[in-house]
C-alpha cells in the first residue's frame, strides 16, 4: 500500500496546500490531511513520506491562501448566537442541581467565564480563517490547563493537563485559545495593554520557534520530549529568578500532593476502622448503593483498557468507598466520581477519578476523531491525552457507566498549578513563552511540524505574532461583553447562580 502524503487532493474548495508534482515542482493540492490519524488498515513500513523540507515549503505556500494578517480579524457576524444560548446548550444533560454552581463559578470573573464558555469561543473560531493544517487539538488550551504532574519515575513535569475537549482541528485554534486566555487573565490583573500584547507575542513567538526547531527532528525525538520542572528553558528563553521562585513553590506543593496526603484530607475512619470519604457537600457527597456498584463495575471494565502489566498491578487493590466530587469550572454538572482503593494495607491507598466525558465544544464545526475513538467520548479523551502529553498517567483508561461514557485517571497525585495570580511582570512573559512552546510540542506529536513551521515562518517573521496580538486584544473585549451579557442573564433571573461559587 502506498503511503499517503501529508497533503492530499480532494474536491474541497477550502484553502489549498502544496504537493510535489511529477516534475519535482511544488504544485497546489486542495486540502491538508493529518497523516498520523488516517484510518489505516495496518501500519505501512514500506512507503516513504515527503521530506520535511518539502513539507515546510508546502506550509509556506499556504500563506498565499491564508495570510498571517487574516488571523488578526475578529468578525462579528449578524447571525452570531446569543452567548447565553450557547452556554445553556452546554448545560443539557448535566446534573441540574449543580448548574447554579457552574453559573456562579463562571460569573466570578471574566477569566472564569472564558474557561466555562468554550462553546462560545468554538463558534467564534469556526467563523475564522483556517490554515487547514490539522493536528490533534487540545480544544481548551487556556493558561489554567497547563500544569504540573508527577511521572511514574517521580519527576515533576510541566505540560498540558486537561483534555476534555480534545478533537482534530486546525492548530491555530489552540493557539488562539491560549493567547485569548493570556489577554483575559492579564486584563483581570490590571496588566497594562502594552505588557499584555508583549506576553501574547511571546507565546506566539515561542510556538513559532519551537515548531521551527522540531520540524527537522526525528519523530522519535519529538515524541520523547518532556519538560521537567527543574529544567524549564524553552527555545532559548531561560527562566528568570522570579519565575523560578513561582515554579519552585508550585513544585513543592505538588510533591506534597500524594495519595497519603489526600487520604488525610478527604478520608475518615468508619466505626469498624476502615476508611471512607468525609462528606463536604456539595463538593464531595456520598452516593447510593446502586451508584456505588455501578462505579465499581465500571472500574472493572476500565481495567480492560489498561496495558496488561498495569491491570496486574490494579488487581491488587479493592474499592473501599465511592463519592461524587464536583470539579473545575467548565466541568461542573458533569458526573464525576472518586474511588478510594486499598491494596497491601489500609495505608496503601489509590485514588481514581471517574469523570464523565461529554461531546467536545468544537464537535459541531469539525469532523472529529476517527473510529474507533469517535464512538466513545471517554476513549476520545484518553487517546488524545496519550497523543498530546510527553509523559502521561500510567493509569489512564475509559469505561461506561449507566450508558454514559467516562474516563479514569489518578486523582491529584503530584499534581499542581502555576497560579494565574502570579502571572504579571516577568513571570507573565516567561510562562506565556513556556505555554506557547509546550503547545507546539504537543501539536508536533500528531501534526506536520514542518508544514506548520513553514506556515508560521522563522523567528524574524513577526506578522503572525502581530496578527494574533490584535486578535487576542479584540477577543478580550468580546469576552468582557459576553461576560456582562451573562451577568445580566443572572440578574434578570434567566440563569440561576449559587450563592457561593467556592462551595
Output the pTM of the full model. 0.90
User: Given this model, what pLDDT does residue 2 score?
Assistant: 35
First to last CA, the chain: 57
Domain residue extents for the chain: 7-65, 82-241+422-491, 255-410
Angle at 75 between CA 72 and CA 77, to 5 degrees: 170
Cell of 364: 459541531
| Contact assessment for residue 227 and residue 390, using Cβ atoms and an 8 Å cutoff | yes
Q: Which of 20-34, 168-182, 363-377 shows the lowest per-residue confidence on average (mean pLDDT)?
A: 20-34
Q: State the pLDDT at residue 139.
A: 97
Sheet with 318-325, strands from edge to edge, namely 284-286, 318-325, 336-342, 349-356, 404-410, 397-401
Averaged pLDDT for residues 40-68: 88
Q: What is the mean pLDDT of residues 328-340?
A: 96
State the virtual CA torsion across 96, 362, 437, 181 in degrees, nearest 10: -50
CA torsion sign for 68, 70, 76, 77 is negative
What is the reported pLDDT for 210?
95
**Rounded Cα distance, 244 and 229, in Å:** 9
Q: Which of the pair, 412 or 350, is modelled with greater confidence?
A: 350
Q: Give the CA dihedral 135, 17, 49, 443, nearest 10 degrees.
A: -20
Q: Residue 167 CA to chain centroid, in angstroms?
A: 10
Q: Which residues contact 309 (CB under 8 A, 6 or more apart)?
A: none
pLDDT band at residue 503 under the 50/70/90 scheme = low
Question: What pLDDT is attached to residue 46?
Answer: 86
Please state, in angstroms and as integers, the Cα–Cα distance from residue 477 to each residue in 12, 48, 209, 266, 401, following that order. Answer: 34, 47, 28, 40, 41
| Structure confidence at residue 191 as a pLDDT band (50, 70, 90) | very high
d(CA 137, CA 128): 16
Whether 31 shows a pLDDT value over 50: the answer reads no
DSSP 351: E
pLDDT at 208 over 80: yes
Cα–Cα distances (Å) from 147 to 113, 243, 327, in that order, read: 20, 14, 16
Q: Are 164 and 428 in contact (CB under 8 A)?
A: no
Cβ-based neighbour number of residue 426 at 10 Å? 14
Instruction: Quote the mean pLDDT of the chain.
Output: 90
pLDDT for the residue numbered 202:
95
CA distances 306 to 267, 301, 303, 356, Å, are 27, 10, 5, 18
Q: What is the biggest distance separating any 2 CA atoms in the chain, rounded to whole angstroms?
A: 81
Residue 280 DSSP code = B
Helix extents (H) in 215-240? 219-223
pLDDT at res. 392: 83
Which three cell numbers, joined as nine digits, stand for 394? 500510567
Q: Is the pLDDT of residue 6 over 80?
A: no
pLDDT tens digit string along 211-234? 999 999 999 999 988 888 888 877
In sequence order, what are the residues at sequence separation of 6 or more whose Cβ sits closer than 8 angstroms to the Cβ of residue 379? 305, 372, 373, 398, 405, 407
pLDDT above 90: residue 501: no
* 200 pLDDT more than 90: yes
Amino acid at each position: 500500500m502506498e503511503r499517503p502524503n501529508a497533503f492530499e487532493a480532494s474536491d474541497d474548495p477550502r484553502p489549498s496546500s502544496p504537493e510535489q508534482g511529477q516534475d519535482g515542482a511544488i504544485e497546489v493540492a486542495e486540502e491538508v490531511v493529518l497523516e498520523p490519524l488516517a484510518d489505516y488498515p495496518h501500519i505501512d513500513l514500506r512507503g516513504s513520506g515527503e521530506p520535511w523540507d518539502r513539507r515546510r515549503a508546502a506550509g509556506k505556500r499556504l500563506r498565499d491562501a491564508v495570510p498571517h494578517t487574516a488571523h488578526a480579524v475578529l468578525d462579528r457576524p449578524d447571525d452570531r448566537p446569543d452567548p447565553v444560548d450557547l452556554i445553556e446548550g452546554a448545560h443539557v444533560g448535566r446534573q441540574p442541581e449543580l448548574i447554579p454552581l457552574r453559573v456562579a463559578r463562571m460569573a466570578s470573573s471574566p477569566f472564569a467565564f472564558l474557561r466555562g464558555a468554550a462553546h462560545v469561543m468554538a463558534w467564534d473560531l469556526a467563523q475564522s480563517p483556517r490554515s487547514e493544517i490539522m493536528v490533534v487539538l487540545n480544544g481548551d488550551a487556556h493558561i489554567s490547563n497547563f500544569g504540573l504532574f508527577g511521572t511514574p519515575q517521580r519527576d515533576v513535569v510541566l505540560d498540558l493537563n486537561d483534555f476534555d475537549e480534545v478533537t482534530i482541528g486546525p492548530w491555530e485554534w489552540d493557539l488562539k485559545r491560549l493567547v485569548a486566555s493570556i489577554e483575559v487573565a492579564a486584563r483581570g490583573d490590571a496588566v497594562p495593554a502594552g505588557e499584555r500584547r508583549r506576553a501574547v507575542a511571546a507565546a506566539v513567538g515561542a510556538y513559532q520557534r519551537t515548531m521551527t526547531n522540531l520540524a527537522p527532528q526525528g519523530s522519535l525525538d519529538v515524541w520523547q520530549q518532556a519538560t521537567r520542572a527543574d529544567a524549564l528553558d524553552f527555545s532559548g528563553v531561560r527562566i528568570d529568578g522570579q519565575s523560578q521562585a513561582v515554579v519552585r513553590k508550585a513544585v513543592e506543593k505538588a510533591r506534597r500532593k500524594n495519595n497519603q496526603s489526600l487520604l488525610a484530607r478527604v478520608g475518615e475512619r468508619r466505626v469498624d476502622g476502615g476508611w471512607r470519604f468525609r462528606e463536604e457537600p456539595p463538593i464531595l457527597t456520598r452516593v447510593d448503593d446502586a451508584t456505588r456498584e455501578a462505579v465499581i463495575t465500571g472500574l472493572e471494565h476500565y481495567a480492560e483498557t489498561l496495558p496488561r502489566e498495569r491491570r496486574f498491578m490494579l488487581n491488587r487493590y479493592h474499592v473501599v468507598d465511592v463519592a461524587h466530587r464536583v470539579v473545575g469550572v467548565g466541568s461542573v454538572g458533569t458526573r464525576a466520581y472518586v474511588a478510594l482503593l486499598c491494596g497491601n494495607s489500609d495505608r496503601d491507598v489509590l485514588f481514581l477519578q471517574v469523570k464523565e466525558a461529554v461531546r467536545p465544544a468544537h464537535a459541531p464545526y469539525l469532523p472529529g476523531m476517527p473510529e474507533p475513538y469517535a464512538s466513545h467520548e471517554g476513549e476520545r479523551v484518553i487517546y488524545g491525552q496519550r497523543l498530546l502529553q510527553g509523559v502521561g498517567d500510567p493509569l489512564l483508561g475509559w469505561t461506561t457507566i449507566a450508558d454514559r461514557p467516562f474516563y479514569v485517571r489518578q486523582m491529584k497525585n503530584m499534581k499542581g498549578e502555576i497560579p494565574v495570580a502570579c502571572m504579571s511582570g516577568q513571570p507573565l512573559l516567561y510562562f506565556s513563552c513556556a505555554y506557547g512552546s509546550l503547545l507546539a510540542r504537543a501539536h508536533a506529536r500528531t501534526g506536520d511540524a514542518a508544514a506548520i513551521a513553514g506556515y508560521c515562518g522563522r523567528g524574524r517573521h513577526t506578522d503572525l505574532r502581530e496578527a494574533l496580538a490584535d486578535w487576542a486584544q479584540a477577543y478580550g473585549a468580546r469576552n468582557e461583553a459576553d461576560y456582562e451579557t451573562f451577568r445580566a442573564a443572572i440578574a434578570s433571573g434567566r440563569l440561576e447562580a449559587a450563592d457561593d461559587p467556592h462551595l
